[in-house]
């Protein structure tokens, strides 16, 4: 908290404590001539005990990190006012609050404020009752009158309004937010609970007047209200918080940022936004599975949340994206320090199920009014800066300090997609796939690029993952399919029988209309279905498997072939491959590239090839850059390969030179690699490495995969 705003909060608390002292003085005057504990000391003791128990068992007010709590104690505090002398009732209630806060080990400042708050609220309520002559009108077995009812309602209204005004004001001062919106938030959250609990108090008094033995029956009613309030708070929490990390979600983040900007404009202060995006988190999900990925996210969220200041709000706004709202800033340098403290939490790996998982992050910092004038532009500036930090691998970057090479962020990119589609800014390049047995080009993979007017040429890793989180991926996929199918038709008419592979996302396959869209595009392009191959990632197989399998079956019925991309990085099993209509599997480049030097990579690749041979599925190796690796794949029986060894992604006009047989495979040094008559792989330099039978691939173990990549 800045030195500018802390005195405002502390001064307010001091005024509340001073006001409580005056309230006790008024209560003492109103209690003159009455017994110390009133006419019903036993009932007073029972209500005090119930109040203490409910204070020790509060419901956390889940909507605000610094918020108060909901307890059933209001019922019993109000009952104390109705049955006991003012000084005794208020003193007992204040003592209970002080004791419960001390047991909860709250700070002295919070204890002082909460105790004084109760004194002021109850003293004002008692004043209303005694000023109307209805202080203890329920005693003596008298029936409530209309005058008493009006006085009681007025007293409850004063207590409720005062309590929420004091709570909302101190929260607003502490967090540097506008008081008005905070008061509305506090009042809305408490109205359905405190209002009902206050209204139950006369019933307890009347029942106690009749017989104290009946009071326990009413406790069941109070408990029902209590539980109902708990359910309501949990639902409110679920609507504004992320289920995995329990951090605020995008909805609460936007609301908090909006209020913080309003407050900063009014006071002339600053508000900072830090956008945090995890680097390479998709690889963790792919290699280790989504369960491990979820544990990593929870660990990272807890670390960052413990590193933030108490006045700031950390939210999860996307899959692996977080955002921090920094209030009470005195300079951009302070915002940078906060961001660097958050960034430092990524220096140590997360330990998940006994083994470390390293995660890095890119952080973009923007501050209002230094870098933007409203919440929307502030968020966009932070996004642009984070994008630059990710592109330059710089960690923490402040707006205005990054290079001008990529001045557009992810929000800007998504906003430009519609215009890019209309303007034809998306184009395709094709990377050849070579048959390892004949050396001929048997297919190409269509790879989309975006010729952005500001950011230059963007590759799929820079915008496809963003688009997959929105409906934009559907439009992009249709554009890519339309162009790829049109080019396939051109090649077919020229007598070139090659297969064109196009990547589709899980979001495409979850659209029940996608097979119809593909069929329509095929019909309009004139391309033969057998010349089109749709590639899906391995992890797509495990998502909503029934829908995915239905879509793949429909596409296969149309005549298209299906490939599983990035195979070996997830959890595909032989059972899945047997049930899915798959024609080929593409071995991930992370294994292929180094298989000539890494024994384990060679083992994994050989096992996958054997799996494909056993199931009658073709295998395509990605990332082939070394002639020796190409020869190893050929001897293993791999069907085809693609990589820079055979050709980089290029335009259709550059592919003409590849419509001829490639040179004969280069011979390897003797003894370096061979396939035994039994079909096992041997690598002589390491003493004879054998690929075990297909049983080792019942499920390809992600942990073994991870080890091989280290």
Is the bond into 369 cis (omega within 30 degrees of 0)?
A: yes
Parts of the chain with a pLDDT under 50:
1-5, 60-68, 403-406, 573, 662-710
Rounded to whole angstroms, the Cα distance separating 179 from 185 reads 10
Q: Is 253 exposed, middle or buried (0-12, 13-18, 19+ CB in 10 A)?
A: buried
**Reduced to 3 states, what is the DSSP secondary structure of residue 323?**
strand
The tokens describing 386, both together, are 């984070």
Contact indicator for 691, 584 with CB cutoff of 8 Å: no
Predicted pLDDT of residue 638: 94
Predicted pLDDT of residue 191: 73
CATH fold of 250-407? Alpha-Beta Plaits (3.30.70)
The tokens describing 655, both together, are 């592919």
Predicted pLDDT of residue 446: 94
The tokens describing 653, both together, are 């006009």
Predicted pLDDT of residue 141: 55
Contact indicator for 88, 31 with CB cutoff of 8 Å: yes
- The domain locations on the chain are 6-239, 250-407, 412-653+672-709
Q: Spell 513-544 as b/e; 16+ CB within 10 A means b.
A: ebbebbbebbeebebebebbbbbbbbbbbbee
Predicted pLDDT of residue 624: 92
| Architecture, CATH, for domain 412-653+672-709 | Alpha-Beta Barrel (3.20)
Contact indicator for 350, 300 with CB cutoff of 8 Å: yes
| Cα 208 → chain centroid | 51
Predicted pLDDT of residue 28: 86
**Reduced to 3 states, what is the DSSP secondary structure of residue 552?**
helix
Q: Is 259 exposed, middle or buried (0-12, 13-18, 19+ CB in 10 A)?
A: buried
Q: pLDDT digit string (tens) for 264-283?
A: 888 888 999 999 998 878 77
Rounded to whole angstroms, the Cα distance separating 628 from 625 reads 9
């Amino acid at each position: 908290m800045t030195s500018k705003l802390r005195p405002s909060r502390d001064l307010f608390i001091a005024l509340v404590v001073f006001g409580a002292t005056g309230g006790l003085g008024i209560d003492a005057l109103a209690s003159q001539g009455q017994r110390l504990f009133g006419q019903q000391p036993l009932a007073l003791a029972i209500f005090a005990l119930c109040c203490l128990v409910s204070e020790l068992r509060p419901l956390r007010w889940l909507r605000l990190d610094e918020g108060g709590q909901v307890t059933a104690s209001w019922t019993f505090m109000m009952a104390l006012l109705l049955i006991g002398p003012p000084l005794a009732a208020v003193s007992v209630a204040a003592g209970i609050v002080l004791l419960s806060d001390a047991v909860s080990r709250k700070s002295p400042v919070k204890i002082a404020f909460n105790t004084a708050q109760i004194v002021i609220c109850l003293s004002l309520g008692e004043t209303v009752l005694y000023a109307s002559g209805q202080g203890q009108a329920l005693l003596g077995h008298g029936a409530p009158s209309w005058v008493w009812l009006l006085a009681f309602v007025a007293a409850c209204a004063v207590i409720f309004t005062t309590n929420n005004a004091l709570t909302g004001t101190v929260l607003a001062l502490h967090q540097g937010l506008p008081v008005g919106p905070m008061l509305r938030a506090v009042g809305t959250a408490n109205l359905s609970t405190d209002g009902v609990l206050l209204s139950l108090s006369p019933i307890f008094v009347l029942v106690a007047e009749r017989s104290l033995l009946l009071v326990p029956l009413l406790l069941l009613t109070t408990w029902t209200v209590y539980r109902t309030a708990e359910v309501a708070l949990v639902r409110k929490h679920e609507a504004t918080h992320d289920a995995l990390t329990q951090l605020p979600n995008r909805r609460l983040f936007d609301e908090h940022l909006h209020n913080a900007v309003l407050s900063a404009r009014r006071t002339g202060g600053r508000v900072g936004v830090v956008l945090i995006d995890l680097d390479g988190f998709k690889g963790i999900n792919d290699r280790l599975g989504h369960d491990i990925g979820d544990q990593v996210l929870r660990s990272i969220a807890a670390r960052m949340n413990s590193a933030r200041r108490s006045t700031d709000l950390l939210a999860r706004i996307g899959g692996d994206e977080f955002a921090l709202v920094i209030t009470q800033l005195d300079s951009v340098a302070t915002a940078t320090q906060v961001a660097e403290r958050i960034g430092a939490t990524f220096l140590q790996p997360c330990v998940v199920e006994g083994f470390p998982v390293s995660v890095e992050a890119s952080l973009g910092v923007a501050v209002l009014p230094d870098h933007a004038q409203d919440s929307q532009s502030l968020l966009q500036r932070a996004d642009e800066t984070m994008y630059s930090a990710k592109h330059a691998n710089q960690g923490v970057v402040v707006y205005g300090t990054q290079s001008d090479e990529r001045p557009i962020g992810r929000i800007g990119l998504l906003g430009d997609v519609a215009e890019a589609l209309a303007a034809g800014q998306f184009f395709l390049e094709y990377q050849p796939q070579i048959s390892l047995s004949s050396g001929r080009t048997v297919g190409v993979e269509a790879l989309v690029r975006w010729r952005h007017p500001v950011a230059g040429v963007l590759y799929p890793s820079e915008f496809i993952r963003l688009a997959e989180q929105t409906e934009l991926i559907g439009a992009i996929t249709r554009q890519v399919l339309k162009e790829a199918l049109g080019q396939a038709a051109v090649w077919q008419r020229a007598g070139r029988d090659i297969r064109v592979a196009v990547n589709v996302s899980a979001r495409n396959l979850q659209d029940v209309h996608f097979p119809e869209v593909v069929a329509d595009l095929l019909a309009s392009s004139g391309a033969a279905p057998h010349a089109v191959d749709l590639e899906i990632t391995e992890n797509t197989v495990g998502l909503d498997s029934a829908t995915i399998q239905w879509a793949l079956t429909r596409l296969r019925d149309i005549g298209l072939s299906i490939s599983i991309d990035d195979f070996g990085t997830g959890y595909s099993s032989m059972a899945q491959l047997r049930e899915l209509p798959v024609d080929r599997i593409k071995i991930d480049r992370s294994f292929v590239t180094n298989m000539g030097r890494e024994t384990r990579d060679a083992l994994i690749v050989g096992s996958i090839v054997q799996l494909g041979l056993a199931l009658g599925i073709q295998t395509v190796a990605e990332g082939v850059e070394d002639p020796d690796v190409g020869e190893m794949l050929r001897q293993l029986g791999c069907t085809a390969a693609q990589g820079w060894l055979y050709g980089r992604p290029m335009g259709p006009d550059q592919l003409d030179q590849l419509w001829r047989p490639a040179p004969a495979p280069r011979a390897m040094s003797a003894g370096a690699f061979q396939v035994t008559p039994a079909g096992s792989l041997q690598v002589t330099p390491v003493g004879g490495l054998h690929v075990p039978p297909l049983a080792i691939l019942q499920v390809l173990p992600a942990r073994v995969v991870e080890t091989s990549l280290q």
